[in-house]
Amino acid sequence: MKIALIGYGKMGHMIEQIAIARGHEIVCKIDVDNQDDFDSPAFASADVAIEFTNPTAAYSNYLRAFKHNVKVVSGSTGWMTDHKDDVEALTKDGKQTLFWASNFSIGVAIFAAVNKYLAKIMNQFPQYDVEMEETHHIHKLDAPSGTAITLAEDIVGLLDRKDAWKAGVTTWDDGHVDGSTDHKANELLVNSVRHDEVPGIHTITYNSEADQITISHSAHSRQGFALGAVLAAEYTANHTGLLTTTDLFSSLIP
């Protein structure tokens, strides 16, 4: 496939390495200093663009890619609050294609399936309260992470005693803490830690007076995310519309 990269930071570099190793061609690399290349022949020649930027730029990047009928794979989070309906309209009936996920890791997809299965079980045992903590590198400014939000929404959808999730505290390496742990009993608290160069840890804890049950996923590097993004790009070769990891990993996870 011919692949364009939108965002050429650490993730972009790793995606490039994996894509080339899998026999693909990188035809265009767009970062903050060459935005005009969105309208270049090289970008328009791409079969798919892989986008890892930030919440404020993501939706605009999708529109600029769709202008040239280039499919998009994106791991950017935070844009859905304002633009979910617009993206659904743009991708309806396969007019444009966006493969979006808060996390492309196969391991996280498996973890998400375990999370939902456990929540179904724990719905029968109201003596257990549940909360979540996510840890990422200090360069990640949004909190909670997109993956944590996805996991939290799955729990809220399956636990009758939780109606919503709530962002708790964010603890930084320099010792300062943002936010508050104040929350209502019907809210799932999601705390965050920003530490060193941690690629990502998500931990879900069910706690009662008698005992505690914890499940956790810890990424060793960004490699799993990058590989998943390239697999998603390959998936778009024969699929259109609004896609996600449920589609990609449907053969692996029921």
Q: What is the pLDDT along the chain (254 residues), one digit of tens a residue?
A: 999 999 999 899 999 999 999 999 999 999 999 999 999 999 999 999 999 998 889 999 999 999 999 999 999 988 888 999 999 999 999 999 999 998 899 899 899 999 999 999 999 999 999 999 999 999 887 899 989 999 999 999 999 999 999 999 999 999 999 999 999 999 999 999 999 999 999 999 999 999 999 999 999 988 999 999 999 999 999 999 999 988 888 755 65
- Helix runs in the chain, H state only: 10-21, 41-44, 55-66, 80-91, 106-122, 146-158, 223-235, 245-248
Return the structure tokens found at 19. 């894509």
| Candidate list 136, 166, 202, 217, residue with the active-site label | 136
3-class state of residue 212 by DSSP: strand
CB 73 within 8 A of CB 15: no
Spatial distance between the Cα atoms of 231 and 141, rounded to a whole number of angstroms: 27
Angle between helices 80-91 and 55-66 (to 10 degrees): 10
Q: Helix, strand, coil proportions of the chain in percent (round to 5)?
A: 35, 25, 35
Q: CB–CB of 108/217 below 8 Å?
A: yes
The verdict on whether 71 is a catalytic residue reads no
Rounded Cα–Cα distance for residues 139 and 222 (Å): 14
Does 95 qualify as catalytic in the annotation? no
Full-model pTM = 0.81
* Sign, CA torsion 176/129/78/83: negative
Among 10, 83, 140, 195, the one annotated catalytic: 140
Q: How far apart are CA 115 and CA 128, in angstroms?
A: 15
